[in-house]
Amino acid sequence: MGVTERRAREKEELHDRILKAASALFAEDGYASVSLRKIAERIEYAPSTIYLYFKDKDEIVTSICRQNFLLLTEALDSILVRDLPPLEMLRACLRSYIQFGLDYPDHYVVTLCLPEPAPRSDRDVHDNLSVLDVGLSAFNRLAGGLLGCMQAGVIRKADVELTAQTTWMMIHGITSLLVTKSSFPFLDRNRLIEHYLDRVLLSLGAAIVPQDPDEKIL
Amino acid sequence: MGVTERRAREKEELHDRILKAASALFAEDGYASVSLRKIAERIEYAPSTIYLYFKDKDEIVTSICRQNFLLLTEALDSILVRDLPPLEMLRACLRSYIQFGLDYPDHYVVTLCLPEPAPRSDRDVHDNLSVLDVGLSAFNRLAGGLLGCMQAGVIRKADVELTAQTTWMMIHGITSLLVTKSSFPFLDRNRLIEHYLDRVLLSLGAAIVPQDPDEKIL
Amino acid sequence: MGVTERRAREKEELHDRILKAASALFAEDGYASVSLRKIAERIEYAPSTIYLYFKDKDEIVTSICRQNFLLLTEALDSILVRDLPPLEMLRACLRSYIQFGLDYPDHYVVTLCLPEPAPRSDRDVHDNLSVLDVGLSAFNRLAGGLLGCMQAGVIRKADVELTAQTTWMMIHGITSLLVTKSSFPFLDRNRLIEHYLDRVLLSLGAAIVPQDPDEKIL
Amino acid sequence: MGVTERRAREKEELHDRILKAASALFAEDGYASVSLRKIAERIEYAPSTIYLYFKDKDEIVTSICRQNFLLLTEALDSILVRDLPPLEMLRACLRSYIQFGLDYPDHYVVTLCLPEPAPRSDRDVHDNLSVLDVGLSAFNRLAGGLLGCMQAGVIRKADVELTAQTTWMMIHGITSLLVTKSSFPFLDRNRLIEHYLDRVLLSLGAAIVPQDPDEKIL
DNA sequence: TATGAATGAGTCTTCATTCAT
DNA sequence: CATGAATGAAGACTCATTCAT
């Protein structure tokens, strides 16, 4: 009994170590230079060993994406459980999303910035769907927050799906650029983010007055 | 003299042909499958010849980015020369930006979605800067349009740079997601874009009434 | 005792299942794509388990050859038990041989077309011999049929061994080519076979008149 | 000029060395164990260098087959130019075919015994055809010899194509078995071959009396 | 008896790059 | 100016096999 348990635990451990190594490689060298070889070297196993845990390279990437979306979902959930006024909660969610990208830039890139790989086999279709499923659960948190605001009357009533999609697009805009174009001479990051959030909420019809501490009009 | 001139012209011609070939490969096979070999094959020169015009592969990518920004700049300019009311002109510019991404998805990805390569040598720093320069000239068109609107009083007066950066981020949000996540179940593209533009303008304080043809409230 | 017996029976069962799986893989994917992995997967045992029953991959191949010759022997026997005139019986045997190859093309290839593996160890020598033993018993059926014809006076009397070997070679000629070179523009298969059988019998001195339904002289 | 010539010569030399190395590997280790790596090692070049001369592994195999058929064709031609009586010429051709297999056993196996690889791409189709073309030119020598005999009235008149195909099958039968099953206790090779040729000619209706020096009747 | 884990050697292939010419 | 030849490193992946349990 104990043996079986230990085996299972060890198996899972290695599974995780592979993912962590791959993730770290993303962070260090970027997506393009992640290879099974390097992953193997990093965990000090033979390259072929990885195939005992993952069917192929895509499955590793897919796994990382899934894991990553879960992290995001959790981050959003930790906000949703708090007892905040709807608009503040929405703003906190959006801010949290941005922060998530800043915290895990390479994961964010892998998951949300890179183009989808052209699906070749049936498996790919299936995997993409399952990644999408996890992704959607994060997306739904956002939609929920928006719905709450509409019902509370603090933002304009509108098609929820449409609003959710466009809000996601907006929030992705700042996140992806901050993450991928770090050498662009962006203004002060916090100022930028808060102003951006103001604008997003304004675009939802929220009755807020945009305030920029460093405002230099014109 | 004539000889020297012709030589110079020929030199530049090949330089351009290389870039065009690379660009076409991006468009056809995606970024990942662009290789010096394929570029060389397409222009019917030896792979090694390319090294007479570009230091290495990165330099080609960088060059393409530069070229690409120019295309975008031209597209924007062709709108700016038209005699439109400020707000309409701004909206047309934003729409044109999105359309640019949809028209040249791989170029858009290479230029604006992929993370910047980690600079290793001095050259990289220089090149990145010069790409940025060209990028900035596109960015400035946008800033100009915004300034025009502010001066005309059709949008809220605010820090132009801040407004320009955040507006670009917004418009990049929808463009990048439409381009990279084509399998996501987005709503009807035109509806999405027009609604998005409404929101962007609203977030700028424009006095418009968002109208969604398929509106299903709540 | 009962336990020991059951154990022995089970042991033999798995042994056979391995061979059957390997054989089926030959038939489905061709020789080249047979691997211990796939065999194991098919019988739902671990790859390493196979090593309890076979020393290595070669031993499996060898075993299949043995089994296969038995099938052929049985096919021939089922003809020999019938009460046919000698010449007809011989012709039926030859036709049955060809049909055997057409029915089990991959097995035929493995057994009779591929070159013998270079023997490296003592075991190989032994195994090859034992394969030959089984093969010989099939071969002997043929010799028996020929002897019967000679004794009945329907074919020329000659050295039986010599006649048997050359007859086998002849019949192998058509079988192997039909099996391995299916893209060659062979004439109608049945016409070809019957004509071939005519010629084989003629070459044995049988008093037959070759008849080709589609004959176009010269 | 001299440079260009030398280059071309060197290029062809390496091309040939690759083919020879591959051919030798066939001869030593059998078809299955030929790999680009081993070829490269043998000619003391980097594996990737081979790709400058051959598109892929299949092209090497195909090239060898082509070369091989040419050798066979030449061997047959060298007989056809001799001024022999038709039947003797035919017999010499057939004997030469067998001898060709015995002289180049591994080439014979690769070309004529192994099953055709399943074509995957358009290229394969093309290559197979061109191999077939070369193969057919060898086959046509045989058909020519048969036709000559028919016209001379020394063998039975019959459909030439049918006769040629079945004659090839016969001659392939002895050749392939002698080559691939060298451990089978075949009778004395020369005796076997001459008896076999007697039988082949008899099956064509030639008026010969089979004579076996070691004849032990019954 | 059976296996799960692991491996190392091996497969074909592509690539960016160098260098003598 | 242009190239042909060559390479070494790297890519993903498969395989037969071993061994502790």
CB atoms closer than 10 angstroms to residue A48: 9
Q: What is the mean pLDDT of residues B182-190?
A: 92
Partner residue opposite C182 with nearest CB, options D116, D176, D192: D116
Least confident of B40-49, B79-88, B109-118, D112-121: D112-121
In the numeric block, the tokens 């439109």 are attached to B84
Half-sphere exposure of A177 (CA within 13 A, CB side): 27
pLDDT bucket at B122, cuts 50 / 70 / 90: very low
Asked if the Cβ–Cβ distance from C162 to D30 is below 8 Å, we say: no
Who's near D200: CB < 8 A, 6+ residues apart?
A: C203, D94, D167, D170, D171
Spell out which residues of A between 49 and 108 contact strand E, using CB within 7 Å: 49, 51-52
Q: What is the mean pLDDT of residues D14-23?
A: 92
The Cα–Cα gap between D63 and D67 comes to 6
How close D208 comes to chain C (CA, Å)?
A: 11
| Bigger pLDDT: C159 vs A105 | C159
Which DSSP state fits A185? -
Out of D184, D185, D195, closest to residue C166 by CB = D195
- Statement: the CB of A17 is under 7 Å from strand E: no
Distances (CA, A) of C68 to C71, C105, C112, C137, D165: 5, 11, 10, 12, 28
For position D117, what pLDDT does the model report? 66
Domains of chain A: 1-54 (1.10.10.60), 57-218 (1.10.357.10)
Residue D215 has pLDDT above 70, yes or no: yes
Residue pair B117/B124 in contact (Cβ under 8 Å)? The answer is yes
Residues C214/D159, Cβ–Cβ less than 8 Å: yes
Confidence at residue C201, expressed as pLDDT on a 0 to 100 scale:
98
- CB proximity under 8 Å: D 127-156 to C: 128, 132, 150-151, 156
Vertex D82 angle, CA D78 and D85, to 5°: 130
C203 in contact with chain D, both atoms CB, cutoff 8 A: yes
Q: Assess contact for D192 and C166: CB atoms under 8 A.
A: yes
User: Stretch A56-82: mean pLDDT, rounded?
Assistant: 89
Residue B108: pLDDT band (50, 70, 90) is confident
State whether A187 and B165 contact (CB < 8 Å).
yes
Phi, psi (deg, nearest 5) at residue B24: -65, -40
pLDDT band at A48 (very low <50, low <70, confident <90, very high): very high
| Count of beta carbons in the 10 Å neighbourhood of residue D64 | 22
* Mean pLDDT within B134-163: 91
Average pLDDT of the residues in B155-181: 95
A30 Rama class: left (phi>0) / alpha (psi -120 to 50) / beta: left
State the Cα–Cα distance between residues C113 and C172, nearest whole angstrom.
Answer: 9
d(C-alpha A97, C-alpha A56), whole Å: 30
The chain A residue lying nearest B113, using CA atoms, is: A113
Q: What is the reported pLDDT for C130?
A: 62
Query: Does the pLDDT of residue A69 top 90, yes or no?
Result: no
Contact B204 A200 (CB under 8 A): no
Separation in Å, CA of C92 to nearest CA in chain D: 18
Residue with tokens 């303008």: B201
Q: Which nucleotide is nearest to A50 (CA to C1')?
A: E6
Of B53, B59, B55, B69, nearest to B8 by C-alpha is B53
Tell me how far apart the alpha carbons of residues A80 and D31 are, in angstroms, rounded to a whole number: 66
Tell me, what's the pLDDT at B8?
Answer: 73
Mean pLDDT confidence for D27-56 = 88
pLDDT at B121 over 60: no
Minimal Cα–Cα distance from A192 to chain B, Å? 7
For residue C33, the chain D residues in CB contact (below 8 A) are none
* Chain D residues 90-129 with CB within 8 Å of chain C: 105-106, 109, 112-116, 118, 128
Mean pLDDT for the stretch of residues D94-123: 81
Question: Mean pLDDT: which of A128-137, A152-161, D26-35 is highest?
Answer: A152-161
What pLDDT is stored for residue C158 in this prediction?
Answer: 94
Residue D180 to residue C128, Cβ atoms within 8 A: no
Q: Determine whether the interchain pair B165/A186 forms a contact, defined as Cβ–Cβ distance below 8 Å.
A: yes
Of A29, A181, A212, the CB nearest to B158: A212
Evaluate if residue A2 carries a pLDDT over 70: no
Residues 27-66 of chain D sitting with CB below 7 angstroms of strand E? 33-38, 47-48, 51, 56-58
Residues 18-57 (B) near nucleic chain E, CB < 7 A: 33-38, 47-48, 51, 56-57
Contact A48, A94 (CB under 8 A): no
At residue D5 the predicted structure's pLDDT band, cuts being 50, 70 and 90, is confident
The helix/strand/coil state of A158 is coil
> Do the chains contact at C172 and D173, CB–CB below 8 Å?
yes
Q: Is C163 exposed, middle or buried (0-12, 13-18, 19+ CB in 10 A)?
A: buried
Task: Compare D2 and A45 and report the one with higher pLDDT.
Answer: A45
Cβ partners under 8 Å of residue D146, min gap 6: D90, D155, D160, D163, D164, D167, D204
Nearest nucleotide to D48 by CA–C1' distance?
Answer: F7
Scanning the structure block, which residue is given the tokens 């790989």?
Answer: A117
Q: Which residue of B has its CA nearest to A160?
A: B218
pLDDT band at residue B127 under the 50/70/90 scheme: low
If you average pLDDT over residues A104-131, what whole number do you get?
Answer: 70
CB pair distance less than 8 Å for C192 and D165 = yes
Which one of A208-212, C64-68, D68-72, D195-199 scores highest in mean pLDDT? D195-199
Q: What is the pLDDT along chain C (218 residues), one digit of tens a residue?
A: 467 776 677 778 889 999 989 988 877 777 777 899 999 999 999 999 999 999 988 888 888 888 888 888 999 999 999 999 999 999 999 999 999 999 988 888 878 888 876 655 544 555 555 666 777 888 889 999 999 999 999 999 999 999 999 999 999 999 999 999 988 899 999 999 999 999 999 999 999 988 887 776 55
pLDDT of residue C84: 93
Torsion on CA atoms B113, B114, B120, B124, rounded to nearest 10: -50
Cα angle C132, C138, C140; round to 5: 95
A and C touch per CB criterion (3+ pairs under 8 A): no
Can you give the distance from the CA of residue C43 to the C1' of nucleotide E2 in angstroms? 13
Q: Determine the 3-state secondary structure of C88 from DSSP.
A: helix
**Nearest CA to B139 among B102, B167, B117?**
B167
- Mean pLDDT of the D108-123 span: 71
| Whether the model pTM is above 0.95 | no
> SS3 sequence, A16-67?
HHHHHHHHHHHHHHCHHHCCHHHHHHHHCCCHHHHCCCCCCHHHHHHHHHHH
pLDDT digits (tens, 9 = 90+) for A146-182: 999 999 999 999 999 999 999 999 999 999 999 999 8
Does the pLDDT at position D29 exceed 90? no
The chain-wide mean pLDDT, for chain C, equals 86
> Do D54 and D67 meet the contact criterion of CB atoms below 8 Å apart?
no
